[in-house]
Amino acid sequence: MESRGVASVEQDERVAPSASRTAKRAAINGRANLMLIVVVSMGAVVELAALPFLLRQWGAPALWLIVPIVILTPTHWGLIHEAIHGQLFASRRLNENVGRTLAIGLALPFDAVRFGHLMHHRFTREPYDQPDVHTGDGPRWRSRLQYYFRLLGGFYFGELLLPLLAFMPSGTARSAVASTVSTEGPAGADVQRLFVNFATDPVRRQRTRRDWLLSVVLYACAFYLYGVWWPALVAAMYLRGVWLSMADNLPHFDVALDEPGRARNFRVARMWQGILMNHHLHRLHHQHPTLPWTVLSALATDAAPRANAAPEHAYFRSALRQFSGPVSATHR
């Protein structure tokens, strides 16, 4: 059975009031999702199996294939994200199985990222969800060091190691999570309780252990195939981790609690919209979390003429702006 904490988070996501008031539930574009799954799967096959063979045949020029592999990172995550929201396929079982398989291919613990993402929707920009804010506790240099580590791949690295909690005794996992997730803020106690409940849920611990071991086996085989070229696989994984880490931080960087959706939308060229799966429209996603990604562009077009619409900045330029460092809590 599911823990009460996880169930309540999933229930809140399904009945998000802003979505129910302002937009009807749209049909899932299964054909578009299937096409992207094929493309992402081909990229994964190249990264984990074909590239080591090509490196032995062509040498260093084959390293250029890492570029399209990295570019497909937001698409890979975007498909997992759609599965988290139940928007990948109409069939709940197919949605779950495909999303979990895609997560294993990216070495992500599906249950953990699903729970964390739904918590992010429920408690957006609460104190536990403000990695870009320097609260004044401790020296500023330490806050900047932690921030840049997280931004430059640390977020992804943490998710790679997160399943180790499932191998710890439940009591140890409970203590570890309770000491990491603070009770700061009005909802802090609820946030900590939900995280602890998730970390000690026996069903999810079992599934997390299984998925993590499958990822370990998959990547161990890949490292074996690469042989002396193993640094190329490390480089690909790191660059994908940097993209995921920066993309996770970007929509909420320096966002105040009174901004709509507590997130921002950005502008991108049309060619990038499918690759990003419209994640540049992150504020709209927070306002309408039950809508498929294919609907957000039309929704953004409809909302554009509104006089009170927040200005949209360029996506990649804003991504670089994150390197200005963490913002002060007093500044916000």
Instruction: Judge whether 110 and 304 are in contact, CB under 8 Å.
Output: no
Residue 20 in this model has a pLDDT that exceeds 50? no
Of 180-189, 274-283, 307-316, the poorest mean pLDDT is in 307-316
CB within 8 Å of 73: residues ≥ 6 apart: 239, 240, 243, 244
- CB count in 10 Å sphere of residue 141: 8
Per-residue pLDDT, averaged over 298-325, amounts to 80
Instruction: List the alpha helices (DSSP H) in the chain.
Output: 4-14, 17-22, 30-45, 51-58, 66-71, 73-84, 92-105, 110-122, 140-149, 155-161, 170-180, 188-199, 202-226, 230-249, 270-276, 282-287, 296-303, 315-321
8: helix, coil or strand? helix
Direct distance between the N- and C-terminal alpha carbons of the chain, in angstroms, rounded to an integer: 42
Q: How far apart are CA 127 and CA 144, in angstroms?
A: 17
Tens-place pLDDT, residues 77-132? 999 999 999 999 999 999 999 999 999 999 999 999 999 999 999 999 888 898 99
Q: Given this model, what pLDDT does residue 14 score?
A: 42
Of 46-60, 192-206, 256-270, the poorest mean pLDDT is in 256-270
């079982």: which residue's tokens?
93
Tens-place pLDDT, residues 132-148? 998 777 888 899 999 99
Q: Given this model, what pLDDT does residue 135 score?
A: 79
Mean pLDDT, the chain, rounded, equals 89
Domain ranges of the chain: 4-328
Tens-place pLDDT, residues 239-265? 999 999 999 999 999 998 888 889 999
Residue 330 in this model has a pLDDT that exceeds 80? no
Instruction: Judge whether 273 and 78 are in contact, CB under 8 Å.
Output: no
Instruction: Judge whether 77 and 31 are in contact, CB under 8 Å.
Output: no
Q: Given this model, what pLDDT does residue 25 score?
A: 67
- Would you give the distance in Å from CA 148 to the centre of its chain? 18
Residue 229 in this model has a pLDDT that exceeds 70? yes
Annotate 52-67 with DSSP letters as a single string: HHHHHHH-GGGGGGHH
Residue 31 in this model has a pLDDT that exceeds 60? yes
Q: Given this model, what pLDDT does residue 305 score?
A: 57
Per-residue pLDDT, averaged over 265-283, amounts to 96
Token pair for 183: 């009770």
**Model confidence, pTM:** 0.90
